[in-house]
Structures are given as C-alpha cells and as structure tokens.
C-alpha cells in the first residue's frame, strides 16, 4: 500500500469511528474533539508484544490489550488451534449439547485449579463470555446454593470497598469504585463492605493494615454470617481500583474467616489468573482454594471472549435433584462455551507447559522490578506496587503527604500519551500508570518499557511541577 493509500484509509476509518463507534470507559466528547496527539489511533495488526497502527507506527503492548494477552499476539499454536477448530465448526451450543473443546478445557482447568489438602476441590466449570458474567454467575450460584440448602436467610454478599468485578448490574453491585459505580446505586442490591487493605493509604499506618483489615472482616462476618451467602475478593491485587496489592496473608485470613462461619469464598481471578501474579492462579500463593473461582481475560491467551466460573463439587450437588425439583441453574448465554474460544484456551494452557511460561514471566517480573527501582526515585512517584507482571505506579502531587493529583489533571493519561511517543502503549487507572505486559515479553522489551515509562513520567510530572 502506498503512503497516500494508507493515509486515505486511516482518514476514512477515523471519520467512520468518530461517526459511529461508542467507545467503552471513554468520554466521547473528548474523543470527538481530540487534542493534538489524542486522535483515534487504529490498531491494524500485531505480532508478539507489538501493535501496529493504520499509519504504519508500532507500539509495545504495555497493558496486554487490556490485561488479556499472555503469549504475545499471533502466537502460532493458538492461531493454529483456532483454525483447526474452524475447520470443524465455529459454534454449537452447550444448552443440551456438548462439544469437544469445552470438554477438554473443563478437564484442563479443573486439573490446574488450586488444590490443597483439607480444602474443597474445584471440580465443575460453568462457561460464559466475559469477566462480568463469570462474576454474575458466581453470585447467582452462591445465592441459589443456600436457598436449595434451606438456608434462605443467607442472601447477602460481602465485598471490599474498592472492589471491581465487572460492569453488569450484579457485578457492579459488589463493585466499589465510586467513579464507575456510584451513578448506578439506585439499581443495585445492598452489599456489606469490608475495608480494602491498602497499606500505602491505611489511616493508622502501613504496619497496622493487615491486622486491622482482617479484624474488620472477621467482626462483620462473625456477626452476620447467618445472612451472608458469600464474600467476593480479587485475590492479592485489586486491579481496577489502582493495582492495590494486599499485604501477604490477607487472603488466607479471609479464607479462614469464611470457612469458620460457613460463608462461601468467591475469588475473582479474572485479572490475576493465568500467570499474571507469578503463579497460574493468585490464590495458590496463599494456599487458598475458593468455593467459586471466576476466570476470563487471560483464559484464551487474549484471543477470544471466554469466561469460566469454577465451583466445588459440594456446590454443584446443591443443584441436583429430579427434573421437577427445578433445582436447575437457569442461566446461560447464547455463546456459552464457544468452541473456537475453548480451543484457543486449551492451546493457551498447553503453551504454559511447553514454554515454561511462568518461569519466563517471573524472570521478566524480576527484571522489571529492577528497572523500576529508578522510576521509584522520581519525585512524583508515590508508590510502585507489583505482583508478578501486574504493576501500578501511583503518581502523587506530593510524596511526603501522598497528596493526589486532581481528576481533571489526567496525569496518568498524560504519561500514557508521552509513552506513545516512545513507542509504548499504556492505559492508566486515574493517577496510576499500569504496566501489564504480555507474559511472553522479552528482556529488551522490558528495558524499553521501563525506559519509556521513566522518561514519560519525568516529562509529564516535571512540567506540572508546582512552585
């Protein structure tokens, strides 16, 4: 394609995008009246950790195309698995029928799920198509489970104050990010809240955080367990809240409290799953097996929309009965367990074995940590939080007081725009610069990422220095 053809194609697509596409989590007025350097950037294709736009520019995919990519783009084994499945069939339903890829994947997921002696075992896989639906399903299963066990008073959910579990109404109900969720409050069911163990901003200081947060959870659950169906938590890291990393031991404490009081534990591993935090699932790091586990994002290696809610055999048993008992779980999405997506997911898991993906990811995480030490020295970096390849760099106006930048200053966004000039694609969470590269990122790419982030933060925060 000539340069002129390429530019004409880009201009046409950009105009059509502005005319017709409503982008998620995007102020469309800003999108439609772009500032310089903020015009629609249209990704045309990708390879490995690199994205290529319609104007011939390339960018390192620093957030794994919104936290989903694992082994890089155009991974040969996943491409092939999808093509092979496509030569059989693209879609058949799981409502009353089975399919080879959904069967193979369920067995693989169960085999790889966290498993520790003395705890229940996850044996059942319920498919859907997004993280939000995987959470919605976990909530509905937990609720129906207790009803069918005759404990109809157990119908409330406990969630953390800054939780993010998706954008459907059930998952928004358990969510606690006011910016996203507040406006919908009148539509939502009430949820019992426990504090987010956010050490950096814990009111009585970092060292009290774990104990105080665990005690608050225990007090609530011990007092009201008869009305509580389940507690839902993002294990180890609360992603959308700003990559808030929990103190070690917190998840284990929550699990013990839940077990002691007959409250189900739902771990939302949508962001943390598939090697993100250094182990295949984050729960493993605290030897915790949840009663329900939500998976999505990385499940297909970042290829296709697929999600799964894993349940223990005990929970599954609650739904068994004669046909006329109506104990059926009456829930299902049209594309539930899509064969192309399941085939991609099976291939994704196989690569974890063949390429020792976790070993590589942990080496890259260590290299990133080393590089980020210099970023932590920058005057407006408040804290860098990291678990594996899940990283948040919190920018603050003033380090000593931890004073935040204002919403309208868009500091995170400005750093991301500055990084684009350095061939790195990022997307922030408010004042938190997020780094979530593909697990397959290469050493030189890690170095490029760190360098671009350091320069971008220095450039943007330097200019905004208050005198």
Task: Please give the sequence-ordered ranges of beta strands (E in DSSP) within 186-227, or none if there are none.
Answer: 192-194
Q: In degrees rounded to 5, what are phi and psi of residue 453?
A: -70, -40
Question: Least distance from C-beta 69 to ligand PLP, angstroms?
Answer: 14
Q: Please give the backbone phi and psi of residue 7, each rounded to the nearest 5 degrees, phi first.
A: -65, -35
Could you tell me if residue 72 is left (phi over 0), alpha (psi between -120 and 50 degrees) or otherwise beta? left
**What is the residue-wise DSSP string for 383-431?**
EEEEETTEEEEEE-SBTTTTBPPPGGG-HHHHHHHHHHTTTEE---BTT
Asked if 434 and 243 touch (Cβ cutoff 8 Å), the reply is yes
Q: Which of 61, 136, 162, 234 binds ligand PLP (CB under 6 A)?
A: 234
Q: Which is nearer to ligand PLP, 105 or 390 (CB)?
A: 390
What is the C-alpha separation between 141 and 319, in angstroms, rounded?
A: 9
Least distance (Å) between residue 250 CB and ligand PLP: 16
Out of 49, 69, 85, 132, the residue judged to bind ligand PLP by CB under 6 A: 132
Report the residue number, 243 or 263, with the smaller CB distance to ligand PLP.
243
* Minimum CB–partner distance for residue 300 and ligand PLP (Å): 11
* 130, 279, 348, 386: which one binds ligand PLP (CB under 6 A): 130
Least distance to ligand PLP from the beta carbon of 273, Å? 9
Q: Does 239 bind ligand PLP (CB under 6 A)?
A: yes
Widest Cα–Cα separation across the chain: 74
Touching ligand PLP, residues 133-192 (CB under 6 A): 135, 164-166
Q: For ligand PLP, which is the closer residue by CB, 239 or 275?
A: 239
Stretch that binds ligand PLP, among 9-17, 138-146, 263-271, 429-437 (CB under 6 A): 263-271
Under the binding rule (CB under 6 A), the answer on residue 245 touching ligand PLP is no
User: Which of 77, 50, 66, 432 shows the shortest CA–CA distance to 270?
Assistant: 66
CA distances from 144 to 138, 188, 221, 336 (A): 10, 18, 20, 20
Question: Does 131 engage in binding with ligand PLP (CB under 6 A)?
Answer: yes
What mask, x for binding ligand PLP by CB under 6 A, covers residues 284 to 323? ------------xx--------------------------
Whether 95 and 131 have beta carbons less than 8 Å apart is answered as: no
CA atoms of 230 and 253, how far apart (whole Å): 15
* Candidate list 70, 240, 292, 293; residue touching ligand PLP; CB under 6 A: 240
> Which is closer to ligand PLP, CB of 50 or CB of 250?
250
Q: Are 268 and 232 in contact (CB under 8 A)?
A: yes
Beta-bridge mates of residue 160? 194
Q: Smallest distance from the beta carbon of 148 to ligand PLP, in angstroms?
A: 26
Number of residues counted as binding ligand PLP (CB under 6 A): 15
| The binder of ligand PLP chosen from 60, 244, 271, 293 (CB under 6 A) | 271
Nearer to ligand PLP, 114 or 239 (CB): 239
| Alpha carbon distances (Å) from 276 to 195, 269, 298 | 24, 10, 8
Report whether 429 contacts 394 (CB < 8 A): no
| Minimum separation from the CB atom of position 11 to ligand PLP (A) | 31
Q: Among residues 163 and 424, whose Cβ is nearest to ligand PLP?
A: 163
CA-closest candidate to residue 76, choices 443, 440, 338, 363: 440
Listed ranges 124-132, 141-149, 343-351, 421-429: which one lies at the site for ligand PLP (CB under 6 A): 124-132
Where does residue 150 fall: left (phi above 0), alpha (psi -120 to 50 degrees), or beta otherwise? left
The closest of 143, 97, 174 to 336, measured between CA atoms, is: 97
Which of these ranges, 30-38, 112-120, 184-192, 268-276, lies near ligand PLP under the rule CB under 6 A? 268-276
Between 162 and 234, CB nearer to ligand PLP: 234
Question: Please, which residues bridge with residue 425 across strands?
Answer: 61
Q: Which residue is nearest to ligand PLP (CB)?
A: 131
Q: Figure out which of the listed residues 270, 341, 375, 425 binds ligand PLP, where binding follows CB under 6 A.
A: 270
Reduced to 3 states (helix: H, G, I; strand: E, B; else coil), residue 212 is helix
Binding stretches for ligand PLP (CB under 6 A): 130-132, 135, 164-166, 234, 239-240, 268, 270-271, 296-297
């Amino acid at each position: 394609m000539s340069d002129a053809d390429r530019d004409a194609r880009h201009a046409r697509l950009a105009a059509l995008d502005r005319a017709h596409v409503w982008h998620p989590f995007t102020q469309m007025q800003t999108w439609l009246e772009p500032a310089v350097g903020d015009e629609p950037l249209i990704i045309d294709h990708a390879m490995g950790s690199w994205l290529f736009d319609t104007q011939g520019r390339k960018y390192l995919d620093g957030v794994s195309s919104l936290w989903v990519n694992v082994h890089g783009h155009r991974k040969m084994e996943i491409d092939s698995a999808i093509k092979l499945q496509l030569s059989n069939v693209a879609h058949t339903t799981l409502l009353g029928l089975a399919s080879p890829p959904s069967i193979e994947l369920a067995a693989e997921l169960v085999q790889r799920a966290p498993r520790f002696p003395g705890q229940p075992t996850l044996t059942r896989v319920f498919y859907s198509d997004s993280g939000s639906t995987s959470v919605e399903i976990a909530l509905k299963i937990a609720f129906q489970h207790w009803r069918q066990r005759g404990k109809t008073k157990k119908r409330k959910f406990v969630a953390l104050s800054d939780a993010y579990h998706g954008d459907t109404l059930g998952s928004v109900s358990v969510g606690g990010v006011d910016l996203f969720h507040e406006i919908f409050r009148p539509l939502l069911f009430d949820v019992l809240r426990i504090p987010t163990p956010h050490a950096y901003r814990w009111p009585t200081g970092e060292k009290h955080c774990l104990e105080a947060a665990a005690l608050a959870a225990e007090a609530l659950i011990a007092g009201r367990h008869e009305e509580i169906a389940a507690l839902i938590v993002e294990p180890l890291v609360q992603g959308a809240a700003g990559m808030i990393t929990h103190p070690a031991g917190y998840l284990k404490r929550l699990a013990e409290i839940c077990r002691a009081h007959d409250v189900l534990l739902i771990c939302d591993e949508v962001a943390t799953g598939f090697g993100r935090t250094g182990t295949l699932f984050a729960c493993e790091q605290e030897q915790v097996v949840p009663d329900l586990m939500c998976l999505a994002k990385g499940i297909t290696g970042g290829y296709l929309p697929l999600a799964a809610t894993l349940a223990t055999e005990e929970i599954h048993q609650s739904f068994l009965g004669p046909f006329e008992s109506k104990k059926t779980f009456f829930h299902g999405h049209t594309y539930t367990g899509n064969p192309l997506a399941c085939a991609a997911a099976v291939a994704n898991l196989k690569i974890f074995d063949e390429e020792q993906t976790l070993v590589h990811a942990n080496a890259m995480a260590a290299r990133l940590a080393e590089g980020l030490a210099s970023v932590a020295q920058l005057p407006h970096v408040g804290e860098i939080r990291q678990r594996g390849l899940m990283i948040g760099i919190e920018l603050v106006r003033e380090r000593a007081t931890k004073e935040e930048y204002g919403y309208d200053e868009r500091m995170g966004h400005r750093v991301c725009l500055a990084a684009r000039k350095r061939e790195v694609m990022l997307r922030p969470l408010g004042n938190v610069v997020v780094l979530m590269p593909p697990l397959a990122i290469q050493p030189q790419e890690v170095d490029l990422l760190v360098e671009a982030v350091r320069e971008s933060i220095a450039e943007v925060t330097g200019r905004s220095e208050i005198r």
